[in-house]
């Protein structure tokens, strides 16, 4: 633990009576890219600001590069941050922006500008040096913001939803650039986003947050395939979450209409059953081992066709490879799924999906 | 204080010992550096600061058994005590930072402590003195009788005028006048705002310029012009006499005259407020209404009008407050009609001088003003529709229905014509030999005021106005940057820092805006005539009065600008390793330049044109332009008074034009960068 680049030790932060984050504990290893993922208001940005020193923790300890910085103001921590709005100083040109941090730390002017210039070269921005931020494109602004942060050689580099001001095409390209840069320079990065595909694409590890707590953390694959709660399952990609109860029998099982799923949970346990749309497929006839239903609506999405199917356990979303024609509304179908792909999670109060979180 | 602190304590002057002890304790506690120690330091240093104030500037107070709490007998604070006070407050701020306030930032804590001290000493303390004066028992009778006389007297609350009697109480006069002025200015302001934003006409540009004129005019100058027009020997009056044989009367003197003058003078304020709200109404909601088949009139009545209602209320309350505070017009045009502001004046300078009664009037005036101010704050907090739409989207504002349009044009043009007449009168009047009798043009009035003779020993500033003009220019120039700096720094604290009591701090800072000038003047007379802070009759008291009264100008401008400025700019600077001071200097200040320019210039204009604030504070040595002019009016020397006013107005127009020039340059730079983005 001691050689982690960043350690959060049961950190809490309250604003007045509002508890923004509580009892957060995690560590980020050197050269690792960790994403903080969650819906708006989950506390992920607060965690980032706590790392930056823009907020001071109410409880707990924050350690950066082996030093307890819990009470150290932002200006004296060796971190750097790329803001959502980029926060480039509009009255300074590109190179003045990049040199700002070096000058603020009393480096002499010539050397600061020399270092800034090298950093700009490295990011392919050399031609923009004397432009004002308002005179360059959004993608370029974003890269200048990265250059401004990188030039300080921070122990931890922070990103606050850096792609949200870019259009969809550019987003994919820039996130690959960020990942490349991180790998090439061996940066330690904490990255905040509310977009799960973005988080999965670039992270070594993802920390999913909810209501100011960590819901689950792990590799993107862990989270997608073995979500610890219905919330995580739903947040990491599309998922049908169906409430059920474990039935007694020789082997305890969960029954969804015709579909029987064995489980080792105790009979009587309330569970959430997670069914990924891409794992299910539609049979023309409802048979044994399937969930019977009727197609309510089919949508053609190019590579895929997506169906909303009314069943006894609720409306389910199913995606299939697109066929020549879509199934018509009202077509009776049976939904089949390999039980190995179904995840059954014992429901805790905290994890209850719809009850606790009105946003869903 | 004579001699150093150390010398004094060594020579055995007991008053300095507590401060020496506090300093020593603060030093020892700093060595410990725990949060508990910081708390004790805070208490000790603040205690020391209070001691400096009550101990007669460290020179010791003779104990007076009659009035043990009286500060009147002690010597005034000198430089030594002032420096000690500042040092102790600095230590307190440091301790506050070590306690963890504002995340332990020393810079912000110093700012907070010092600006709070300014508020406490120069706003709160004087008001408390006014309250104390009211509580002082009258010469005859008990405290209760004194209070009853001061608060319930017939001259305050009398309603004789309703029953056919001659006059009503001053409270009713002030209220009715304020409401009438508020209604009239809001109505005309709305018409003018609609005229400039929704009606295409060649007069739009000139109309905007005309609305700016009264801002640079000392308020009573409008009243003066009304006298020249409608007074007994006014030009209109005489014309009516010559042509229609209507006998000249004194009808302009009284509530009608004051109302007319204030309405003309304050409409621009209402206009600016309503205009700002009106342009922020998104055209798309009006378009939506018309696509829903609402007629033009219906769209206006059910969509536009409700959306700008907060602006209308704001305009009404602001002009109401200004009308209450106005002293000049009631003095010039009031005749026997007394309002609270002029009542205070006559209770202080008149034959019936009575500080206790003046204080009573001041308290009533203050309460009404603050109530209106509170109402304004609450109203604005709860009903701001304008921000709902947020993003500016394109589209066309709905056209106005024809009758409405006609009404607006008529009202605006009548108002515009009146304003032009008033200013024409002022300019002509300043060149007339004797208004009403002899209209031949002359420069005598200007020569009278601003003559310069080449004397034996160089130039002689012979004109009577030079003394007050010099003082006004010098002190207003000195006060303006200080005022703007204090206001903007407070705006920075409120907009950008989190600390307990932030709302209270904001409220206290804004409150001094709602304090009528006459109340401030009286309060300063009461508070600073005697030790510990004895500054009456100095230039310093004028500067302080401007700074503490006009600081909300900078505060408002600053708050508006800060809300436009992305907070992550400051945060970016901080995460890049810059402290709050560097951030303020290198990031915020350059971006706030337009706000700084605006605040400095409006602070300057406000100081030059004020009358009510300075009228009790001027001294023969430090006379003010406006008080000098009022003196001329009292001696019916209208020619010179108007000539002097014209000089002031022209000067202020130039100053404001300079501001526009600065702002436009900044604006152009922004436009340029916008353009280059489009081409990029």
Cα–Cα distance measured from residue A317 to residue A297, given in angstroms and rounded to the nearest whole number:
10
- Give Cα A84 to chain centroid, integer Å: 15
- How far away is chain A from the Cα of B273, in angstroms, using its nearest Cα? 29
Among B117, B95, B100, residue whose Cα is nearest residue B25: B95
Tell me which chain B residues have a C-beta less than 8 angstroms from the C-beta of A79: 575
Among B409, B339, B419, residue whose Cα is nearest residue B179: B339
Is A206 in a helix, a strand, or coil?
Answer: strand
Q: Up-side HSE of residue A311: CA atoms within 13 Å toward CB?
A: 25
- Which residues, including other chains, have CB under 8 Å from residue B679's CB and lie 6 or more apart? none
| Residue B191 host element (H or E) | helix B170-198
User: What's the Rg (C-alpha) of chain A?
Assistant: 24
Cα–Cα distance measured from residue B402 to residue A239, given in angstroms and rounded to the nearest whole number:
59
* Helix B355-382 and helix B125-135, axial crossing angle in degrees, nearest 10: 130
Say whether residue A72 is in contact with chain B using an 8 A CB cutoff: no
Whether residues B571 and A84 touch (CB distance < 8 A) is answered with no
Candidate from B582, B673, B674 with C-beta closest to A104? B582
Considering Cα of B549, then B551, then B555, then B561, what sign does the dihedral take?
positive
Whether residues B680 and A89 touch (CB distance < 8 A) is answered with no
Give the model's pLDDT for residue A359: 36
End-to-end C-alpha distance for chain A, whole angstroms: 37
Cα–Cα distance measured from residue B489 to residue A80, given in angstroms and rounded to the nearest whole number:
27
Its ipTM equals 0.80
Structure tokens at B214: 């009264």
Is B501 in a helix, a strand, or coil?
Answer: coil
Tell me which chain A residues have a C-beta less than 8 angstroms from the C-beta of B568: 83-85, 87
Structure tokens at B170: 């001053």
Whether residues A87 and B576 touch (CB distance < 8 A) is answered with no
A148: closest chain B residue by CA: B576
pLDDT score of B71 more than 60: no
The better pLDDT of the pair B56, A103 is held by A103
pLDDT tens string A275-299: 999 898 888 776 778 888 899 988 8
Cα–Cα distance measured from residue A60 to residue A55, given in angstroms and rounded to the nearest whole number:
13
Tell me which chain A residues have a C-beta less than 8 angstroms from the C-beta of B503: none
pLDDT score of A155 more than 60: yes
Tell me which chain B residues have a C-beta less than 8 angstroms from the C-beta of A46: none
CA angle B497-B503-B507, nearest 5°? 120
Which parts of B127-194 are beta strand (E)?
Answer: none
- How far away is chain B from the Cα of A248, in angstroms, using its nearest Cα? 56
Tell me which chain A residues have a C-beta less than 8 angstroms from the C-beta of B582: 104
Of B99-113, B315-329, B370-384, the least confident? B370-384
Candidate from A77, A85, A132 with C-beta closest to B566? A85
Cβ B333 vs Cβ B226: under 8 Å? yes
Averaged confidence pLDDT in chain A? 87
A81: closest chain B residue by CA: B575
> How, if at all, do strands A79-82 and A304-311 pair?
unpaired
Give the model's pLDDT for residue B56: 58
Among B334, B420, B425, residue whose Cα is nearest residue B645: B425
Q: For the sheet containing A6-15, what is the strand order?
A: A18-28, A6-15, A59-64, A67-68
- How far away is chain B from the Cα of A22, in angstroms, using its nearest Cα? 19
Interface probe with A: pick from B572, B667, B680, most Cβ of A within 10 Å: B572
pLDDT score of B12 more than 50: no
Give the model's pLDDT for residue B679: 36
pLDDT tens string B616-629: 887 777 788 888 88
Cα–Cα distance measured from residue A137 to residue B296, given in angstroms and rounded to the nearest whole number:
42
CA angle A30-A34-A40, nearest 5°? 150
Q: For the sheet containing A314-321, what is the strand order?
A: A280-283, A332-337, A291-300, A304-311, A314-321
Whether residues B577 and A132 touch (CB distance < 8 A) is answered with no
Whether residues B680 and A87 touch (CB distance < 8 A) is answered with no
| Confidence category of residue A25, pLDDT binned at 50, 70, 90 | very high
Among A354, A359, A358, A357, residue whose Cα is nearest residue A241: A354
Of A339-353, B72-86, B577-591, B660-674, the least confident? B660-674
Interface of A with B in 90-109 (CB under 8 A): 90-91, 100-101, 104-105
Query: For B587-620, b where at least 16 C-beta lie within 10 A, e where not — what string?
Result: bbeebbebbbbbbbbbbbbbbbbbbbbbbbbbee
Candidate from B569, B582, B677 with C-beta closest to A89? B569
The better pLDDT of the pair B440, A129 is held by A129
B587: closest chain A residue by CA: A89
Candidate from A56, A88, A90 with C-beta closest to B103? A56
Whether residues A73 and B103 touch (CB distance < 8 A) is answered with yes
Q: What is the mean pLDDT of residues B378-407?
A: 65
Interface probe with B: pick from A83, A87, A148, most Cβ of B within 10 Å: A87
Whether residues B575 and A74 touch (CB distance < 8 A) is answered with yes
Candidate from A74, A91, A101 with C-beta closest to B590? A91
| Confidence category of residue B394, pLDDT binned at 50, 70, 90 | low
| Confidence category of residue B393, pLDDT binned at 50, 70, 90 | low
Considering Cα of B138, then B142, then B143, then B145, what sign does the dihedral take?
negative
| Confidence category of residue B186, pLDDT binned at 50, 70, 90 | very high
Averaged confidence pLDDT in chain B? 78
- Which residues, including other chains, have CB under 8 Å from residue B289's CB and lie 6 or more apart? B298, B299, B302, B303, B398
Whether residues A71 and B571 touch (CB distance < 8 A) is answered with no
Say whether residue A79 is in contact with chain B using an 8 A CB cutoff: yes
B581: closest chain A residue by CA: A104
Tell me which chain B residues have a C-beta less than 8 angstroms from the C-beta of A14: none
pLDDT tens string B133-153: 777 766 666 666 666 666 666
Interface probe with A: pick from B105, B500, B566, B576, most Cβ of A within 10 Å: B576
Q: What is the mean pLDDT of residues A62-85?
A: 90
- Residues of B near A (Cβ–Cβ under 8 Å) read 100, 103-105, 566, 568-569, 571-579, 582, 586-587, 590-591, 673-674, 676-677, 680
Say whether residue A74 is in contact with chain B using an 8 A CB cutoff: yes
pLDDT score of B11 more than 50: no
A141: closest chain B residue by CA: B677
- How far away is chain B from the Cα of A141, in angstroms, using its nearest Cα? 12
Say whether residue A30 is in contact with chain B using an 8 A CB cutoff: no
- A-to-B residue pairs, Cβ atoms closer than 8 angstroms: 91
3-state secondary structure B21-35: HHHHHHHHHHHHCCH
- How far away is chain A from the Cα of B88, in angstroms, using its nearest Cα? 25
Candidate from B569, B577, B673 with C-beta closest to A135? B673
Say whether residue A152 is in contact with chain B using an 8 A CB cutoff: yes
Cβ B495 vs Cβ B651: under 8 Å? no
- Which residues, including other chains, have CB under 8 Å from residue B108's CB and lie 6 or more apart? B97, B102, B493, B497, B499, B580
pLDDT score of A360 more than 70: no
Candidate from B571, B576, B676 with C-beta closest to A148? B576
Q: How many CB atoms lie within 10 A of CB A207?
A: 25
Say whether residue A56 is in contact with chain B using an 8 A CB cutoff: yes
| Confidence category of residue A115, pLDDT binned at 50, 70, 90 | very high
B679: closest chain A residue by CA: A135
Is B579 in a helix, a strand, or coil?
Answer: coil
In this structure, which long-range contacts are made by residues B197-203, counting pairs with CB atoms below 8 Å and at least 24 apart in sequence?
A: B197/B275, B197/B278, B197/B279, B197/B397, B198/B278, B198/B397, B198/B399, B198/B400, B199/B400, B199/B405, B199/B408, B199/B409, B201/B409, B203/B412, B203/B413, B203/B416
- How far away is chain A from the Cα of B598, in angstroms, using its nearest Cα? 19
Count of positions (residues) in chain B? 680
Give the model's pLDDT for residue B160: 66
The winner for highest mean pLDDT among B197-206, B380-389, B498-507, B667-676 is B498-507
- Which residues, including other chains, have CB under 8 Å from residue A350's CB and lie 6 or more apart? A229, A356
The neighbouring-strand residues paired with A192 are A36, A160
**pTM of this structure:** 0.80
- How far away is chain B from the Cα of A93, in angstroms, using its nearest Cα? 11
Give the model's pLDDT for residue B15: 63
Whether residues B575 and A84 touch (CB distance < 8 A) is answered with no
Give the model's pLDDT for residue A27: 93
What is the DSSP-derived secondary structure letter of residue B321?
H
Whether residues A100 and B590 touch (CB distance < 8 A) is answered with no
Structure tokens at A249: 């029998």
Say whether residue A14 is in contact with chain B using an 8 A CB cutoff: no
């Amino acid at each position: 633990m001691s050689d982690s680049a960043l350690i959060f030790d049961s950190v809490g932060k309250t604003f007045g009576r509002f508890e923004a984050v509580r009892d957060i504990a995690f560590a980020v290893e050197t050269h690792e890219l960790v994403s903080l993922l969650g819906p708006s208001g989950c506390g992920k940005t607060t965690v980032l600001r706590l790392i930056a020193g823009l907020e001071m923790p109410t409880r707990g300890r924050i350690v950066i590069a082996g030093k307890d910085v819990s009470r150290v103001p932002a200006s004296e921590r060796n971190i750097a941050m790329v803001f959502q709005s980029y926060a480039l100083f509009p009255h300074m040109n590109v190179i003045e922006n990049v040199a700002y941090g070096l000058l603020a730390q009393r480096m002499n002017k010539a050397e600061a500008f020399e270092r800034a210039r090298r950093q700009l070269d490295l990011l392919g921005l050399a031609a923009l040096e004397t432009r004002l931020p308002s005179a360059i494109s959004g993608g370029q602004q974003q890269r200048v913001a990265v250059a401004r942060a990188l030039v300080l050689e921070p122990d931890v580099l922070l990103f606050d939803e850096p792609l949200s001001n870019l259009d969809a095409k550019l987003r994919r390209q820039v996130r690959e650039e960020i990942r490349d840069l991180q790998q090439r320079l061996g940066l330690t990065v904490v990255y905040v986003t509310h977009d799960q595909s973005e988080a999965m694409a670039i992270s070594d590890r993802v920390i999913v947050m909810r209501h100011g707590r960590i819901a689950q953390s792990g590799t993107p694959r862990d989270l997608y395939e073995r979500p610890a709660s219905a919330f995580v399952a739903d947040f990491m990609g599309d998922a049908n979450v169906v409430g059920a109860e474990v039935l007694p029998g020789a082997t305890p099982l969960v029954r969804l209409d015709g579909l029987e799923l064995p489980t080792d949970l105790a009979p009587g346990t309330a569970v959430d059953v997670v069914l990924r749309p891409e794992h299910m497929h539609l049979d023309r006839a409802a048979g044994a081992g399937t969930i019977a239903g009727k197609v309510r609506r089919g949508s053609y999405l190019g590579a895929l066709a997506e169906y909303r199917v009314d069943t006894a356990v609720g409306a389910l979303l199913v995606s299939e490879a697109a066929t020549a024609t879509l199934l018509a509304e009202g077509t009776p179908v049976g939904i089949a799924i390999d039980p190995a792909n179904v995840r059954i999670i014992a429901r805790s109060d905290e994890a209850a999906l719809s009850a606790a979180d009105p946003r869903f | 204080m004579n001699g150093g602190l150390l010398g004094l304590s060594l020579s055995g002057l007991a008053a300095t010992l507590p401060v020496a002890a506090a300093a020593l304790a603060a030093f020892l506690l700093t060595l410990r550096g725990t949060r508990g120690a910081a708390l004790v330091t805070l208490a000790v240093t603040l205690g020391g600061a209070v001691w400096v104030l009550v101990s007669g500037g460290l020179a010791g107070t003779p104990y007076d058994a009659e009035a043990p709490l009286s500060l009147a007998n002690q010597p005034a604070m000198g430089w030594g005590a002032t420096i000690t006070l500042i040092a102790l407050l600095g230590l307190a701020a440091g301790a506050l930072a070590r306690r963890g306030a504002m995340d332990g930032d020393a810079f912000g804590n110093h700012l907070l402590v010092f600006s709070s001290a300014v508020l406490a000493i120069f706003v709160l303390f004087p008001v408390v003195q006014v309250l104390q004066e009211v509580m002082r028992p009258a010469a005859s009778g008990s405290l209760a009788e004194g209070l009853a006389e001061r608060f319930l007297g017939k001259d305050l609350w009398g309603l004789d005028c309703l029953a056919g009697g001659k006059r009503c109480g001053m409270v009713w006069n002030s209220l009715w006048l304020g409401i009438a002025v508020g209604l009239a200015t809001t109505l005309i302001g709305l018409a003018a705002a609609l005229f400039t934003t929704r009606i295409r006409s060649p007069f739009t540009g000139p109309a905007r310029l005309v609305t700016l004129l009264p801002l640079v005019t000392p308020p009573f100058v409008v009243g003066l012009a009304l006298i020249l027009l409608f007074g007994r020997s006014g030009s209109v009056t005489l014309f009516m006499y010559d042509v229609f044989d209507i006998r000249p009367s004194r009808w302009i003197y009284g509530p009608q005259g004051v109302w007319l003058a204030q309405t003309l003078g304050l409409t621009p304020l209402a206009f600016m407020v309503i205009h700002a709200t009106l342009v922020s109404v998104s055209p798309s909601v009006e378009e939506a209404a018309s696509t829903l088949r609402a007629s033009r009139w219906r769209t206006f009545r059910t969509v536009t009008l409700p959306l700008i209602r907060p602006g209308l209320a704001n305009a009404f309350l602001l002009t109401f407050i200004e009308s209450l505070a106005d002293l000049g017009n009631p003095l010039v045009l009031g005749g026997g009609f007394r309002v609270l502001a002029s009542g205070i004046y006559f209770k202080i300078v008149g034959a019936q001088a009575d500080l206790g009664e003046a204080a009573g009037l001041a308290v009533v005036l203050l309460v009404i003003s603050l109530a209106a101010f509170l109402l304004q704050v609450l109203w604005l907090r709860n009903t701001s529709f304008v921000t709902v739409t947020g993003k500016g989207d394109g589209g066309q504002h709905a056209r106005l229905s024809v009758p409405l349009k006609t009404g607006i044009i008529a009202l605006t043009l009548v108002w515009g014509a009146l304003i032009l007449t008033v200013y024409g009168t002022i300019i002509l009047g300043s060149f007339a030999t004797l208004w009403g009798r002899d209209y031949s043009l002359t420069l005598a009035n200007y020569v009278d005021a601003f003559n310069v003779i080449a004397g034996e020993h160089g130039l002689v500033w012979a004109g009577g106005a030079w003394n007050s003009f010099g003082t006004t220019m010098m002190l207003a120039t000195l006060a303006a940057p200080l005022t703007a700096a204090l206001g903007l720094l407070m705006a920075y604290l409120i907009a950008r820092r989190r600390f307990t009591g932030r709302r209270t701090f904001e409220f206290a800072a804004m409150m001094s805006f709602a304090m009528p000038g006459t109340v401030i003047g009286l309060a300063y007379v009461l508070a600073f005539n005697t030790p510990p802070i004895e500054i009456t009759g100095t230039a310093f008291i004028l500067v302080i009065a401007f700074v503490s009264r006009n600081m909300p100008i900078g505060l408002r401008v600053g708050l508006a600008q800060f809300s436009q400025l992305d907070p992550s700019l400051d945060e970016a600077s901080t995460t890049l390793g810059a402290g709050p001071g560097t951030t303020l200097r290198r990031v915020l200040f350059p971006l706030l330049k337009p706000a700084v320019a605006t605040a400095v210039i409006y602070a300057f204009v406000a100081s030059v044109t004020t009358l009510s604030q300075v009228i009790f504070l001027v001294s023969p040595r430090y006379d003010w332009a406006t008080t000098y002019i009022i003196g001329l009016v009292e001696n019916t020397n209208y020619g010179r008074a108007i000539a002097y006013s014209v000089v002031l107005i022209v000067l202020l127009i130039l100053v404001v034009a300079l501001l526009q020039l600065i702002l436009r340059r900044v604006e152009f730079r922004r436009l340029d960068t916008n353009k280059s983005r489009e081409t990029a």
